[in-house]
Amino acid sequence: MPEISRLFDLLELYNTKYISKPDAFLFRRDRKWIPYSSEDYIRISNEIALGFLALGIHRETKIGTIMHNCPEWNFFDMGIMMSGAIQVPIYPTVSAGNYRFILNDARIEYLIVSNAEIYKRIITFSRDIPSLKGVFTIEKIKATGNWKDIIDKGKSFPEPGQLEMIKQSIRQDDLATIIYTSGTTGNPKGVMLSHRNFISNVISCSGIPDFGTNDRAMSFLPLCHVYERMLNYLYQYFGMSVYYCESLEKIGEYIREIKPHTFACVPRVLEKIYNRIVTKGRNFKGPRKSIFFWALRQGHKFEFNHTRGWFYDVKLWIANLIVFRRWRKLLGNNIRLIVSGGASLHPRLARIFWAARMPLMEGYGLTETSPVIAVSTLEPGGFKFGTVGHVLPGVEVKFAEDGEILCKGPNVMLGYYNRPERTREVIDEDGWFHTGDIGMLEEGKYLKITDRKKEIFKTSTGKYIAPQLIEQRFKESPFVEHILVIGENRKYTAALIVPNFDHLKDWCAVKHIIFTTPEKATRNIRIIKRIRQEVEHINLDLGQTEKIKKFRLIAGPWTVSSGELSPTLKLRRKFIQERYRNLIEDTYRSKEYNYQVEED
């Protein structure tokens, strides 16, 4: 296998080991999956690189991409890096203010966007970006240049030999990309990652799964995020067929068509899959319903290495035969590995997927660590529920006095672009990166994350609260879509809850309650009482200071576009607390729920 030291060296694998692969990348257009071959990948990437040289770019020119997941994302990724330029991928969903900031901060000269919708957003303030020389779209529109114009320039570039010279001059420690963090507070920071940063992660993670050229990966998390991007390189390293999906809403449809062997997701996606299946089970009748929930209980007890004894193994075998095999079928019946990251995964959810013979691997990392610091493995002893597995080979971890996780290794970023003072805040003189997460080692080898350092708060009674752990427990409930735990400098802990309205509609139908709108549902006394019952039940598992004493129902929804969620579906806590500031104040002032309740 050719040596991989720069990211574009992956193309050499397609030129040798995976030559003539007909379906390297696939994308659905008009309900048909259109394949791109290994030859297409190499040829188009080279033409794009030459096209940028024809446009006059130079080493470290910043080229922005605002693209949905698609094969063209890879062509531009490789073409930009081979030309010596720096790709700056940007989420399609960020605000106009963040677009302006990133494009100016990085001094973007050329911009590649997916479609007319994104182009229309950009063009309204393009005059505010003095460095911007041109915009090209993947979708063909009349208003601007098309990506194939760059290819045409590459085809006619008079000195193609320049490209090889530039490639030879690029070293593994050179800057490969700048990824701007989602900016849950303040302006985004540009994380500078080198070729070595990514390659070290790819090589270290390549020993975990056993995938090959006949396996299919489904990609739907944004490729502009470091998590999906690194896995995208890993899929290429294995020579897998990668199916790109634009819409999270159509995951179920995509899975049925693709029948993937693996995909990466965030815990919220798994929670929704699980809740959807459980909701179906609640609608069963008689013995079928009893058997369904009996199987569910077996799954929640799952442990490795047959530690629960032969009788449990027999019950789990029966549960798989009768119930879980149908779950596998819903997910394409080929799943060999699901990767979860971006937020903490509740052990109960992990157990049920493992019990259903769909291994669910959890990892941990940050954009600044490209991204993996620790990850579970499929080897004996490689997984422990409630942890994120072993620290990655070649990466070092230690803990500060307050429990903060510190990391050192080839995966740690070069620094923040244009922000040397912010870089010094997180990378100390000895080269340790301060993650901002609190954690510990269990059994001396399994890394466990307990909370974000910045999100832990103290009540007025002096008790520390780790909100993510409480929120994670509540999101197991099929009635809860989102929850924000609050209580900093207050006497007790409270919460804002966005109900799972799909589940609530089904529940209302069973209880003969008329469901009209989410707004009216949050004021319905019977619905409030049912969710209060759910809160009180979950409170039984929490410590005295962690219990939710009051809550308010929010009609929502909380989305990326409305600002409550980051592009990786994390809560933007300060934004939410500011938006609902008056409601939070009312919550703590009132003796009881101050809803204008409506009787059914």
Torsion of CA 34, 38, 44, 46, to 10 degrees: 170
Angle between helices 467-474 and 525-539 (to 10 degrees): 120
What is the domain-level CATH number for residue 577? Answer: 3.30.300.30
Instruction: Note whether residue 494 is domain-resident.
Output: yes
Using alpha carbons, select from 407, 373, 571, 386 the residue that is nearest to residue 486.
571
Domain stop point among 258, 280, 296: 258
Q: Evaluate whether 376 touches 362 at the Cβ level (below 8 Å).
A: yes
Asked whether the CA dihedral 343, 346, 351, 352 is positive or negative, the reply is negative
Domain stop point among 216, 241, 258: 258
In the predicted structure, residue 278 carries a pLDDT above the cut 90: no
Secondary structure (3-state) at 407: strand
Q: What is the average pLDDT across 213-217?
A: 98
DSSP assignment string, 532-549: HHHHHHHHTTS-TTTSEE
CA distances in angstroms from 17 to 10, 240, 439, 447, listed in the order given: 10, 12, 41, 36
CB atoms within 10 A of CB 276: 15
Tell me the H-state helices in 497-572.
Answer: 501-510, 518-521, 525-539
Instruction: Note whether residue 286 is domain-resident.
Output: no
Q: Hey, what amino acid is at 282?
A: R
Query: What's the order of all strands across the beta sheet hosting 190-194?
Result: 145-146, 134-137, 110-113, 62-66, 86-89, 175-180, 190-194, 415-416
DSSP state of 250: G
Element of type H or E holding 33: strand 32-36
Instruction: Note whether residue 491 is domain-resident.
Output: yes
Q: Which domain holds residue 534?
A: 457-589
pLDDT of the residue at 291:
96
Number of domains the chain contains:
2
Instruction: Note whether residue 372 is domain-resident.
Output: no
Tell me the pLDDT of the chain averaged across its residues.
92
Tell me the H-state helices in 239-346.
Answer: 251-258, 267-282, 286-300, 310-319, 325-330
In the predicted structure, residue 522 carries a pLDDT above the cut 50: yes
pLDDT of the residue at 250:
83
What is the domain-level CATH number for residue 18? Answer: 3.40.50.12780
Q: Classify residue 358 by burial, with Cβ atoms within 10 Å: 0-12, 13-18, 19+.
A: middle
The torsion angles phi and psi of 421, rounded to 5 degrees, stand at -70, -35
DSSP state of 331: T
Residue whose tokens read 């399994």 = 446
CA distances in angstroms from 451 to 212, 344, 356, 469, listed in the order given: 36, 9, 29, 7
Q: What is the average pLDDT across 276-302?
A: 92
Q: What is the average pLDDT across 431-459?
A: 90
Note if the bond before 518 is cis, omega within 30 degrees. no
Instruction: Note whether residue 582 is domain-resident.
Output: yes
d(CA 11, CA 260): 23
Using alpha carbons, select from 427, 375, 365, 440 the residue that is nearest to residue 401.
440
pLDDT of the residue at 600:
47
Q: Evaluate whether 163 touches 156 at the Cβ level (below 8 Å).
A: no
pLDDT in tens, 345-354: 888 899 999 9
With a CB cutoff of 8 Å and minimum separation 6, the contacts of 145 are 134, 135, 136, 137
Instruction: Note whether residue 243 is domain-resident.
Output: yes
Q: Evaluate whether 376 touches 363 at the Cβ level (below 8 Å).
A: yes
pLDDT in tens, 36-48: 999 999 999 999 9
pLDDT of the residue at 455:
82
Which of the two residues, 558 and 464, has the higher pLDDT score? 558
Instruction: Note whether residue 380 is domain-resident.
Output: no
Using alpha carbons, select from 249, 392, 269 the residue that is nearest to residue 338.
269
In the predicted structure, residue 592 carries a pLDDT above the cut 60: no
Instruction: Note whether residue 386 is domain-resident.
Output: no
pLDDT of the residue at 153:
97
